[in-house]
A and B are shown apart, each in its own frame.
Chain A
Amino acid sequence: MTATPGAPGEARASSLTPVLTERWDLEDSFTRRVYERNGGYKALRQALQRSPESIVEAVKDSGLRGRGGAGFPTGMKWSFVPKDSPKPTYLVVNADESEPGTCKDIPLMMADPHLLVEGVIISSYAIGATHAFIYVRGEVLTVIRRLQHAVVEAYEAGFIGANILGSGFDLEITVHAGAGAYICGEETALLDSLEGRRGQPRLKPPFPAVAGLYASPTVINNVETIASVPSIVSNGSGWFRSMGSEKSPGYGIFSLSGHVTRPGQYEAPLGVTLNELLDMAGGIRAGHELKFWTPGGSSTPMLTAEHADVPLDFEGMAGVGSMLGTRALQIFDDTTCVVRATGRWVEFYKHESCGKCTPCREGFWWMVQIFDRLEQGQGTEADLEKLLDMSDNIAGRSFCALADGGVAPVMSSIQYFRDEYIAHFEHGGCPFDPADSALFTVERQEEAGVNA
């Protein structure tokens, strides 16, 4: 890929480009009937006319980067699968969506499960997989029903099973419900979980493409990544590249939540900015100002109003010390206590640490104790240094990226809001009233439940 670094954003569209979300408002959008009537499963027919290699090439040429957070080029990942493996190849869809703030895959699978199924079939064909798994978090019953049903309908239509549409290609798809564990979104922990074990990350290498599920070649991709494949097959890589920027091509779903007038899913070219999205979403809730936000879930360092015009693409976010992540824009206004927000995220990482390595397992536990002190106004500046010190010792010294993600809100909040931390101990407690940040009127202050 040749691109001028630092030149993202030019020719940036300030409008929306619904592709993945296009059918969501149709009645019964989740049925095969409606999906096919609106162009569904055409890409599958096209794909089966082509060689698997040409589909891998098309995905490579499109520049599609993984939508699950890390942004690894999808076509390249696919090309790592050994061609001559004596073992079967598997495709595993990561539908664990549990990164705080992330809420795009769930509505996609609820409204348009056949889009994912079609993507799974085409992608499996491209990489030579004969069994695909959709590992979906367990806590979303309606979504799981819709997925299960879509798979049944696709079998009935001969889109899955033996000799798909007479092509000689065979594929089984299994929908697999998880059981509540954020770490199972980490791809190797997901594989252990899918093998019926505790979901703990594996040492890499070997990478899953070589030795993944049952030690066989395995491709793991996010829901949105796989759901993007049919449109690339139908419309071509040039079309995909006509959106977004050179290094971050295409469209993606941006999920706005929090203190914003119209929270929800906005599908736009990568490189759109927070301010552009806020304009579309009616702005920050009336009478308030943007205070801080996460670009891609709680594991991406938080940003402030000064970053609201930075392109939301991989390079743009890296350029300001954060990450695009999952485009989960959690937006907080001036009523929000950043210490409370961060403390709660740290509790999440403590709860979700799989326990495999000491810095992560013990580190977040201690951090929670410190945040309790800070929130109660009993902290000192030394506690802030301690938090930063601990962050250094947790990130990069642990086994997987959960640990790096967990320190992101800590380090970034201290970077941008050190004064607010200090105000807590000067004030002898939290200077904010949690009732002010609730979206409804809270009668009694204690009802807003700080420290709840």
Chain B
Amino acid sequence: MSPSDDVTNEQSGRPEERMRSGVPPEDAAATRPGVADSAATKLDAKARAEMLEIVARYPEPRSALLPMLHLVQSYDGYVTPAGIEMCAEVLGLTEAEVAAVATFYTMYKRRPVGDYHVGVCTNTLCAIMGGDAIWSELSEHLGVGHDETTDDGTVSLERVECNAACDYAPVLMVNWEFVDNQTPQSARELVDTLRSGGAVNSSRGPRVCTWKQAERVLAGFPDGAETQGVSAGPASLAGLRLAKEKGWTAPTGGQPELDATSGEDQK
């Protein structure tokens, strides 16, 4: 058996096979959902114009592809055949070339994602600090497994890799906002709130927006929420706070090699 024909390993409770290399580029057609889905696309003339806006940010058009795929998800909730078609047309690529890229990256989804994407970090550090217990709790509570969505279409659950928040372990990501220092109980309450349409605040950022709105920001269309949330969470400040308490500082700046000349000093 080779990795590419691997099957889900139900016995060990391991989630469905996750492997970037599992889908070779030539096999792109096989990754495309049914044609019927094309009718469901929301991609319109405005979306196409936005794609051209993205293209204009780069010296070479193809660099726009990743943000364009995020944009497709912001309209359609996943990478639809129509989205692949539009990206290909705008960039002068084949659909197979676009699909080959889309299937490489974990954040691009082949099936519709719920309004709230809940990622449970189950990389080693978080897993051991309690992420595995949180995963079991949520999976059981919601009745869905890895990369699956609840029947009501509200919550998609995913095991995610280290999200650069290990000092807040165990960590959840909701629509890619940090939800720090979780327990099985707090995580269950969180998804219940999400499912009942209540507002959820991330630990360090703003109130959680929908998954589609988040994808739009990733495509480079800001939503104006950048000032919400803290500058830094408590763990990020652990060292700085201690340094201040103890009066520790870096050596005071030696002589600048050349003085600032401008009179715009704002002190």
Contact = CB atoms under 8 A, between A and B. Distances in A.
Interface of A: 15-19, 21-22, 24-31, 36-37, 42, 45-46, 49-50, 54, 58, 88, 97-103, 105-107, 110-111, 131, 137-142, 144-146, 148-149, 152, 165, 174-183, 193-199, 214, 231, 233-236, 238-239, 242-243, 251, 254-259, 262-268, 280-281, 298, 328, 330, 332, 336, 340-341, 344-345, 348, 350-356, 361-362, 365, 372, 376, 434-435, 437-440, 442, 446-452
Contacts of A353: 19-21
B62 A350 contact: no
Given A141-B175, A142-B178, A193-B66, A448 B60 contact: no
Interface string B187-215: 00000000000000010111000000010
B3 A362 contact: yes
B124 A298 contact: yes
Nearest to B248: A15
B34 interface: no
B236 A142 contact: no
B235 A448 contact: no
B243 A16 contact: yes
B177 A449 contact: no
Contacts of A263: 166-169, 235, 238
A452 B136 contact: yes
Given A18-B249, A141-B177, A58 B236 contact: no
B246 to A, nearest CB: 7
A235 B249 CA distance: 14
27 contacts: A15-B248, A18-B240, A46-B256, A98-B161, A106-B164, A111-B231, A142-B226, A177-B218, A178-B105, A179-B105, A181-B104, A195-B62, A196-B64, A235-B253, A236-B253, A255-B166, A263-B235, A264-B237, A330-B124, A345-B124, A352-B20, A355-B22, A372-B9, A435-B133, A438-B130, A439-B170, A442-B184
A236 B254 contact: yes
A146 B107 contact: no
B135 to A, nearest CB: 5
Contacts of A22: 240, 250
Interface stretch (B44-52, B147-155, B258-266): B258-266
Interface string B217-237: 111101101110101111111
B223 A145 contact: yes
A356 B104 CA distance: 12
B40 interface: no
Given A149-B222, A177-B219, A265-B235, 4 more contacts: A19-B250, A28-B227, A258-B169, A266-B238
Contacts of B169: 257-258, 263, 439
A17 B206 CA distance: 30
Contacts, number: 373
A333 to B, nearest CB: 10
B144 interface: no
Given A196-B101, A265-B238, A434-B128, A354 B257 contact: no
A31 B231 CA distance: 10
B183 to A, nearest CB: 4
Report whether over half of chain B's contact residues are helix, strand or loop; otherwise say mixed.
loop
Nearest to B132: A449
A42 B158 CA distance: 44
A281 B267 CA distance: 34
Contacts of A449: 127, 132-133, 135-136
B119 A139 contact: yes
Contacts of A336: 128
A98 B162 contact: yes
Contact of B128 (A15, A176, A328, A437): A437
Name the residue in B60, B236, B238, B239 with the highest tally of chain A Cβ atoms < 10 Å from its Cβ.
B239
Given A46-B256, A330-B125, A434 B205 contact: no
Nearest to B241: A25
Contacts of A233: 257
B18 interface: yes
B242 interface: yes
A7 to B, nearest CB: 21
A107 B184 CA distance: 25
A141 B202 CA distance: 11
Contact of A256 (B25, B167, B225, B266): B167
Given A49-B261, A145-B222, A178-B66, A28 B231 contact: yes
Contacts of A178: 66, 105, 107
Nearest to B243: A16
Given A107-B233, A348-B123, A265 B217 contact: no
Nearest to A251: B250
B76 interface: no
B175 A24 contact: no
A255 B169 CA distance: 13
Contacts of B100: 198
Name the residue in B2, B232, B237, B249 with the highest tally of chain A Cβ atoms < 10 Å from its Cβ.
B232
Nearest to B229: A142
B105 A181 contact: yes
B106 interface: yes
Contacts of B220: 148, 175, 177
Contact of A257 (B3, B125, B222): B125
Nearest to B231: A29
A236 B255 contact: yes
Nearest to A130: B59
A366 B246 CA distance: 50
Interface in B1-20: 2-3, 6, 9, 12-14, 18-20
